[in-house]
Each structure stands twice: as C-alpha cells, then as structure tokens.
Amino acid sequence: MAAVVLEYKATEVTILDMRELVSYTDVFVICTASNRRQVQAIADAVASASKRDHGIVPSGIEGMEAARWVLVDLGDIVVHVFDGPLREFYDLDGLWRDAPRLAVPEVEASDEEPESKPLFTLP
C-alpha cells in the first residue's frame, strides 16, 4: 500500500512494523497529503487497489467526510492518510516511536497503469 500512496504523491511516508506492539494489525502505513482532496484521493486509491489487486475489501474507512485524517483498515495493514497539520498534532510517528521502521519502496514515475504490487513485505 505504500507504493499506492506514493503513486498518488503522498509525502513523509512511514511504514511501522506493529507485530510486536499490537494484536490488531501487522503494519501501519502513515503518510501526508497536501490538501483534503488529496487525502480523499489517496484513501480511495488504497481501498480500490487493495480490492482490485489483492481481493481485500477494507473492513472500515473512517474520516472521509472531514478528509483531514482518513484511516483505511485492511486488517493486516492500517493506512493513515493525514493532512499536514493533523499529522503533526496527533504525531503517530512519535507515539509509536518504538515500532521498527520498514523500508519505503521506491516508485518510478510512469504514465502506464500501475502493476499489481504485494501489500507489504516483512523482514
């Protein structure tokens, strides 16, 4: 899912390995969007890509109306899409500072249709 948020121009992408810290998910993907419209577009793209590429329908999407912090719950992955001020305010990166950081994939710019990618890779 990190590749999807990067394709939609999210910034400050962080992937946290949550397996040793919580029982409800394996990974948090946290990213920042530049405005509310982009927050919604990224969250929509994550939900669509998870269903299209992996057959996973989100068990919940919260925050789409306000579009300042949208949470997309994919079970093993929870994607948090923030606008800048709210990401700084809630500081999930600091709250979960003990979580190991995973490598963020590099995404090449392309006009072609994105190919299917794994949801995430754990070491």
| Adjacency order of strands within the sheet including 27-33 | 60-62, 69-73, 77-83, 27-33, 11-17, 101-102
Structure confidence by residue, pLDDT tens digits, 65-95: 999 999 999 999 999 999 999 999 999 999 9
pTM of the model: 0.86
Q: How many domains does the chain have?
A: 1
Whether 33 is in a domain gets the answer yes
Q: Coil, strand, or helix at residue 76? A: coil
Q: Which domain holds residue 43?
A: 2-102
Residue 54, domain CATH: 3.30.460.10
50 pLDDT higher than 60: yes
